Structure 1
Amino acid sequence: MMQDLFSVPSCFSAGEKLPDVPASAAATTRSGQSAATLVYRAGIAGHDRLVTVTWCRNLLTHGLTVSIEGSAGGGKDKSGGGREWGDADGGAASSSNKGCSTACKVEMQPWHFWRKYGAKQFHVDGRAVDVVWDLRSARYSDEPEPLSDYYVAVVSDEEVVLLLGNLKKEAFRRTGSRPSLRDAALVCKKEHVFSKKRFLTKARFHDRGKLHDISIECSSSNLGGGGVDVDMVIKIDGYVNVLVRHLQWKFRGNECISINQLKVQVYWDAHDWIFGTGVRNALFIFKPEPLPSATNEYSDFCLFLYAWKLE
């Protein structure tokens, strides 16, 4: 894998393993549905732990999965009388092989309005951790993540340790919990996008940075002898940052680009685009480098973009 070739996991602290993409996200990519997995580091039950949030989307359904490192099985649906919950009713508790995490899954179909509002409870080292969400009014674009008018909150020891969305006041009021003294840090984003020639996503390269538009575009022309010449361009906020001509000869590579004085390492592996058949993907990695004068302001963020090329 590209991550291994370029030692990208070094952006995580020593001994820390990036969680696998949940099975629900893997299934969506195999069927051509968009998925985005975000990994956060948050203080939960007295320790720094990884919280994995996966958003999925197809024509009819949006999906949300939240898993917490170190949580035990036996999750409870707090909005449904404390009953055990499973795959059949849209919320799922599923332990990993090592019993080190539990997933909370919510499928938001148009005819199941109230599943967009709920709460689940995990247990981490014997202490309760709640996941609370309200997606009833969430606004979406073409991406699996909502744009606005929603919240997803993780509560540990009466503190909101992770809060997603813009309805922050509503989240604090509903949970009855105070904000954590330390914000959760986004350490990794894995996204699967599908297109024929133009692949789009958004990302922040550091905690307080702006949300950047990322575009990867391909163009091809016929060569003599029946061959095809392919060019690729990577744009940030509409500006060309990487231009690769003759991609069939340069299908793997890396460049260091500069975005508002921030250096970002960009890696690509487009081998399967050039030599594969059917639905195939290229992998792009964006790894920002911290500025020496402001290292504390930058998180160990890394973006993995899987661009699936359709015929």
Structure 2
Amino acid sequence: MRDFPSCFGENAVQIADSSSSNGNKTSQNLVTCVYQCRLRGRSCLITLNWSKNLMGQGLSVGIDDSDNQSLCKVDIKPWLFSKRKGSKRIELDDSSNIDMYWDLSLAKFGSAPEPLEGFYFVIVSDRQMLLLLGDMRKEAFKKTAVTAAPVPMHTVFVAKREHVFGKKVFYTKAQFCDKGKTHDLMIECDTIGTNDPCLIIRVDTKNVMQVKHLQWKFRGNHAILVDGLPVEILWDVHNWLFGTSLGSAVFMFKTNLSADKSDLNILQWSHLQRFPDSESHLLGFSLILYVWKLE
């Protein structure tokens, strides 16, 4: 664990703060999802940034190759009437095309900017679907019938980053493998008015981790089992204890398919900024949470 403290330092918080001087207000509604796919025989990453501001929901989509070179980037703003439902074609340098189709006109949202139901979002290339999201699958296939054959997709959900807010208890949902069960995740920590703060993490109401004497153990890691998979929990709550009121704690939940703790040495912060690279994809799924305390 020699390398771990460098992964969660001040730079980790600045990613959330950099967009605005009032960082926690701006970053409150931001979810980033990363999928690994094959595009014309190459390994690629599809990155979706779901966001929400005073005008409504928004979505940006980027596709990068294994060398971290951008192949395309598209901004979709569903709060504009003409953009709630539509399509876009992107021409790549090799004369191939990528087509995106979406229908968010009836989408339902919870507290997060990521839609829950009533939508579809599709990426198509070479008459094959690279990505299909949402519960309106029939509508999606009907929309892409001319340009997309319904063949099995080799796309894997590899990483997610989101901002979570609360006063003492923080809730989110987590899916620790690509087609696994969605679990309720709860983080509880009270750092105000107590001489000995304690950190508790629960999965589906089950207590899976408890850290006492947190002022001495504000960074660390702990291994648990979820759905039979080893999951490594890494945390840094330094800013909660010693930082400013706007500082966030950082948590990472990583499925480690090799079950070898030495693999944690590859988790350099540069990888986490763009999410796992082609080497770390093989190890499983990463969920990174920036957790903010509301006043």
Question: Separation in 2 of the partners of 1:230 and 1:221?
Answer: 8
Gapped regions of structure 2 (runs ≥ 5) = 8-14, 260-281
Question: Separation in 1 of the partners of 2:36 and 2:132?
Answer: 12
Instruction: Please report the TM-score for the alignment, with normalisation by the length of structure 1.
Output: 0.75
Structure 1 residue corresponding to 2:87, chosen from 116, 119, 125 = 119
**Superposition deviation, residue 62 in structure 1:** 0.9
CA 1:279–1:25: 2 relative to 1, 3 Å? closer
Structure 1 residue corresponding to 2:199, chosen from 219, 225, 232 = 232
Aligned-pair identity (%):
39
Q: Name which of structure 1's ranges 250-259 and 299-308 shifts more when overlaid on structure 2.
A: 299-308
Q: Name which of structure 1's ranges 300-309 and 28-37 shifts more when overlaid on structure 2.
A: 28-37
Question: Separation in 1 of the partners of 2:72 and 2:16?
Answer: 13
Hey, what does 2:269 align to over in structure 1?
A: none
CA 1:121–1:40: 2 relative to 1, 3 Å? same
Larger RCO (CA under 8 A, 6+ residues apart): 2
CA 1:24–1:274: 2 relative to 1, 3 Å? closer
Whether contact under 8 Å (1:116, 1:133) holds in the other structure is yes
CA 1:27–1:270: 2 relative to 1, 3 Å? same
Whether contact under 8 Å (1:52, 1:66) holds in the other structure is yes
- Within 5 A, what are the aligned runs for 1:282-293? 282-290=249-257
1:44 paired to 2:39: yes
Hey, what does 1:147 align to over in structure 2?
A: 116
Partner of 1:27, secondary structure, is: coil
Question: Separation in 2 of the partners of 1:185 and 1:6?
Answer: 29
Structure 2 residue corresponding to 1:173, chosen from 119, 142, 145 = 142
CA 1:58–1:231: 2 relative to 1, 3 Å? farther
Whether contact under 8 Å (2:258, 2:283) holds in the other structure is no
Matching residue's letter, 1:289: N
Matching residue's letter, 2:166: S
Structure 2 residue corresponding to 1:158, chosen from 103, 127, 147 = 127
Instruction: Please report the TM-score for the alignment, with normalisation by the length of structure 2.
Output: 0.79
Deviations 1:201-246 (A, max 9, x none): 21211122100111111124645xxxx3311111111111111122
CA 1:143–1:284: 2 relative to 1, 3 Å? same
Question: Separation in 2 of the partners of 1:268 and 1:170?
Answer: 41
Query: Number of residue pairs matched?
Result: 259
Gapped regions of structure 1 (runs ≥ 5) = 9-22, 71-97, 293-297
Hey, what does 1:250 align to over in structure 2?
A: 217
* Structure 1 runs of 4+ with >6 Å offset: 23-26
Whether contact under 8 Å (2:169, 2:189) holds in the other structure is yes
Question: Separation in 2 of the partners of 1:3 and 1:46?
Answer: 37
Partner of 1:274, secondary structure, is: helix
CA 1:194–1:24: 2 relative to 1, 3 Å? closer
**Superposition deviation, residue 66 in structure 1:** 0.6
Hey, what does 2:75 align to over in structure 1?
A: 105
Hey, what does 1:5 align to over in structure 2?
A: 4
Whether contact under 8 Å (2:16, 2:27) holds in the other structure is no
Partner of 1:230, secondary structure, is: coil
Matching residue's letter, 2:124: V
Question: Separation in 2 of the partners of 1:162 and 1:32?
Answer: 26
Matching residue's letter, 2:117: S
- Within 5 A, what are the aligned runs for 1:184-263? 184-220=155-191, 222=193, 228-263=195-230
Whether contact under 8 Å (2:239, 2:249) holds in the other structure is yes
Hey, what does 1:268 align to over in structure 2?
A: 235
**Superposition deviation, residue 27 in structure 1:** 3.1
- Within 5 A, what are the aligned runs for 1:22-101? 27=19, 30=23, 31-58=26-53, 60-70=55-65, 100-101=70-71
Deviations 1:64-114 (A, max 9, x none): 1111115xxxxxxxxxxxxxxxxxxxxxxxxxxx973432112233xx333
Hey, what does 1:301 align to over in structure 2?
A: 285
Question: Separation in 2 of the partners of 1:283 and 1:181?
Answer: 36
Whether contact under 8 Å (1:40, 1:51) holds in the other structure is yes
RMSD: 2.9
